[in-house]
Amino acid sequence: MHDLNADLHCHSTVSDGTLSPSQLAERAKSNGVALWALTDHDEVAGQREAAAAAHAAGLDYLCGVEISVTFADQTVHVVGLGVDPDNGALREGLAHTRGGRNRRARAIGDALAAVGIAGAYEGAEALADSPDMVTRTHFARWLVSTGVCRDSHDVFRNYLTEGKPGYVAQEWATLRDAVRWIRDAGGLAVIAHPARYKFSANEEWALFEEFRAHGGRGVEVLTSAHTPADAARYADTAREYGLLASRGSDFHAPGESRVELGALPALPSGLTPVWSELQQRILRG
C-alpha cells in the first residue's frame, strides 16, 4: 500500500496540459502507474474520458481536480481526490472560479501589448481548449513559440509573475469554499505543492490550521516542484498536522515537465498515504 506507484496530480488539454485524458491514461499505464488521477485546473470536463480510458487500460482511477484558491494574498492550489464529477456544488463552484479567467487573460494580453508584445491573448487563446480556460501556461507556450522567450522558466521569471509586466492578479476561490466543494463531492482535499508558496512561517501555519479546520486532509509531499529537502520538510508537516501524504508529478506536457508521469520516488516512511483513505472512491481498472 505504501509503495504503490500512485500519480495523483496531472493536467490534460482540458486545462493546461498538451495530452488528452486518454493519451495520459495510456502514458500512465506504460509508465507503470498503478493508481492515477487527472486533476485539471478548476474543471472536471475530462473526468469521464479519463475514467473510461483508465478502465480500458486496466488502471485504478480517482476522479480529481485542482482548485485555484486565494489565501493571504497568494494563489494556493487545492487538489481534490475521489470527487464525484457530477456533484452540483462542485460543478457550480468550479464554474464560478473559472468565471474570471477570460477577463484576466485579456488583461494579461493588454499588459504584454503595453510592453511591446502584441497578439499574446489571441496566441494563448488559440492554444487553449476554450476561452474560459486560458492559463498562464498557454501564454508561456505562445511566448516561447514566437521566440520572445527561450523557455517557460524565462517567461515566468520575466513576465508572468508578481512585479513583472504581464502579471495580472486574480481573486480565486476561498480556501473554505474549495475544501467544502471537494468534501460535498465526496472527495478528499490536499494542499498541492506547498514548497511553491512564498508564505512566512506564520502564514504557512495559518494555511495548514485553517485547511484542517475546514476539513482538509492531505498534503502533497512528493511532486515535481519539490526538492528532496522540500519533501522531507513537508513529510514533517504531514506528521505534525496529522495530514495524509500525497504523491503527484503535476505532469503537463512531454518535453516541458521536469518529472514524467509516474516517475516520482516512493513516499518517505512513517506517513499515511492519501489512498489509504480513498479505497471506496477508487474506480477499479
Would you count residue 137 as binding ligand AMP (CB under 6 A)? yes
Site stretch for ligand AMP (CB under 6 A), options 150-158, 198-206, 216-224, 258-266: 150-158
CA distance 176 to 185: 14
Considering beta carbons, is residue 113 or 167 the nearer one to Mn ion? 167
Is residue 81 within 8 Å of 64, Cβ to Cβ? yes
Site stretch for ligand AMP (CB under 6 A), options 53-61, 109-117, 130-138, 211-219: 130-138
Site stretch for ligand AMP (CB under 6 A), options 118-126, 131-139, 227-235, 257-265: 131-139
Q: Which of 12, 47, 68, 257 binds ligand AMP (CB under 6 A)?
A: 68
DSSP 119: T
Q: Rounded to the nearest whole angstrom, what is the least distance from the CB of residue 284 to ligand AMP in the complex?
A: 29
DSSP 47: H
According to DSSP H, which parts of the chain are helical? 21-30, 47-57, 88-98, 101-114, 120-127, 136-145, 152-155, 175-184, 201-213, 228-241
Q: Which of 136, 180, 193, 226 binds ligand AMP (CB under 6 A)?
A: 136
Would you count residue 230 as binding ligand AMP (CB under 6 A)? no
Considering beta carbons, is residue 144 or 282 the nearer one to ligand AMP? 144
How far, rounded to the nearest angstrom, does the alpha carbon of residue 178 sit from its chain's CA centroid?
13
CA distance 116 to 104: 19
